[in-house]
Chain A
């Protein structure tokens, strides 16, 4: 049970939602945009999150789009992880979201919520980073469409009143060979020790990680090493691990040394897998 009260709004348009956000914010109500609500409800119950107004975006048509149009996959931020895995337009993304929480929670977690939440893993972003998708945002300063690489530095950085409306992926990424590996400490359903997503694009390996550092990331430096044909597999793995200069997570799930060891093993499997596909 949530121990504080809040107001509930369900606008029909992005414009109404943004106006409402700013009005409620100026009234000191600390509004939040609300998608699936799994993170908000569980944190609010523990008094770790507070608001006096939630703005549910599930009534906004643009946020519920899920289709391929003009060679682009368009995914609204209010579609659920189950919607993504059931439609399976983007198999790598489908594979990733099927390993986030469990299937009943996947029915509730939205794409936007997973991307913008405070839980550090945000695994669905891994496939989106690899495809360098476009993100459609709208706030009081207007609408903008930006490549994810322009606004994702450790997490997607947007203005407080901006709504993530849609994610747009170039269709050519949907059918590329891919690999997804998720390792957890004990159970299949858990936060990752490491999740790795990779695709093979024009003979180059593109790769992204979650659980390794305090944020999910794609590193062009790592990709340069992986695609350097002058290096042996063993040399590549050693160089990749050495190239990670940010702090590798060291927590109850696993030590940083263990995560490095696991990273080596996962990369080794990735090489073997992609050698098979050429």
Chain B
């Protein structure tokens, strides 16, 4: 049986690299990414699973890192916005003015990147369904939707 009873060094696979990090079982993935690993792209917003600013990918699926214990990520592949490294969605956000203040942007980038990989043929309903996991108080979502549409498969 696997157990962690005290602060312990564990290995996480973050952005393709194995990283050793000291965690307590009560640490959320968001806390560890930001405070222990210095990966501040995932933003603390509501920390209640509502806003999506802390979204990262875990085994390619978008997850709110404020609602995941760090220890749950052992053995999984975690991708943060720092690991995107010039993915098409980043260029698309720039070209379509998909952000203003930028606080929600990393969360949206992760959701949209995942959508383009998991649902490359997503229709409008599915795009809207996926975008509803994240909140943006600046853009009104149109530009973000345009950005994600620009990188999806065009033959639908």
Interface residues of A (CB under 8 A from B): 1-2, 4-12, 16, 20, 37-38, 41-42, 44-45, 54, 56, 58-59, 82, 98, 101-105, 107-108, 188-189
Which A residues lie within 8 Å of B71 (CB)? Answer: 8
Q: Mark B68-83, 1 if CB is under 8 A from A, else 0.
A: 1101100000000000
Residue B43 at the A interface, CB < 8 A? no
A172 CA / B26 CA spacing, docked (Å): 43
Complex Cα–Cα for A49 and B61 (A): 28
A-B contact count (CB 8 A): 89
Taken together as a complex, chains A and B put the C-alpha atoms of A107 and B133 apart, in Å, by 11
10 extra A-B contacts, CB within 8 A, seeds A44-B26, A105-B67, A108-B64:
A1-B27, A2-B26, A4-B26, A5-B24, A8-B25, A16-B1, A41-B28, A41-B68, A45-B48, A104-B52
Interface majority SS (helix, strand, loop, mixed), chain A: mixed
For A34, give the chain B residue with the smallest CB separation.
Answer: B69
Give B54's nearest chain A residue, CB to CB. Answer: A104
Query: Cβ of A37 and Cβ of B67 under 8 Å apart?
Result: yes
Which residues from chain B sit less than 8 Å from chain A, CB to CB? 1-5, 24-28, 31, 47-49, 52, 55, 58, 61-64, 66-69, 71-72, 111, 129-130, 132-133
Q: Which 10 A-B pairs have the closest CB atoms?
A: A8-B25, A102-B133, A10-B2, A104-B133, A2-B26, A7-B5, A104-B62, A11-B1, A8-B4, A9-B3
B138 CB to nearest A CB, Å: 18
Q: For residue A63, give the distance in angstroms from its CB to the closest CB of chain B.
A: 14
Which of B5, B58, B69 has most A Cβ within 10 Å? Answer: B69
> Quick check: B133 and A105 within 8 Å, CB to CB?
yes
Contact of B31 among A1, A5, A104 (CB under 8 A): A1
Q: A82-B61, A104-B111 are in contact. Are A8 and B67 (CB under 8 A)?
A: no
- Contact of B67 (CB < 8 Å), options: A7, A9, A42: A42
Q: How far is the CB of A202 from chain B (nearest CB, A)?
A: 33
* B25:A45 contact, CB within 8 angstroms: no
Q: How far is the CB of A102 from chain B (nearest CB, A)?
A: 4
Q: Which of A20, A108, A188 has the most CB of B within 10 A?
A: A108
Bound Cα distance from A101 to B72, whole angstroms: 21
Contact A38 B49 (CB under 8 A): yes
Checking B3, B49, B111 against A105 with a beta-carbon cut-off of 8 angstroms, the contacting residue is B49
CA distance A2 to B55 in the complex (A): 18
Residue on B with the closest CB to A36?
Answer: B67
CB distance from B108 to the nearest CB of A (A): 11
Bound complex: CA A8 to CA B2 (Å)? 8
Closest CB in chain A relative to B51 CB, distance in Å: 11
Verify A9–B2 contact, CB threshold 8 A: yes
Q: How far is the CB of A96 from chain B (nearest CB, A)?
A: 15
Subset of 29 A-B contacts with CB under 8 Å: A1-B31, A2-B27, A2-B28, A5-B26, A8-B25, A8-B69, A9-B2, A9-B3, A16-B1, A37-B67, A37-B69, A38-B49, A41-B66, A41-B67, A41-B68, A41-B69, A45-B47, A103-B62, A103-B129, A103-B132, A104-B61, A104-B62, A104-B111, A105-B64, A105-B67, A105-B133, A107-B58, A107-B63, A189-B132
Contact A1 B25 (CB under 8 A): no
Distance in Å: Cβ of A197 to nearest Cβ of chain B: 20
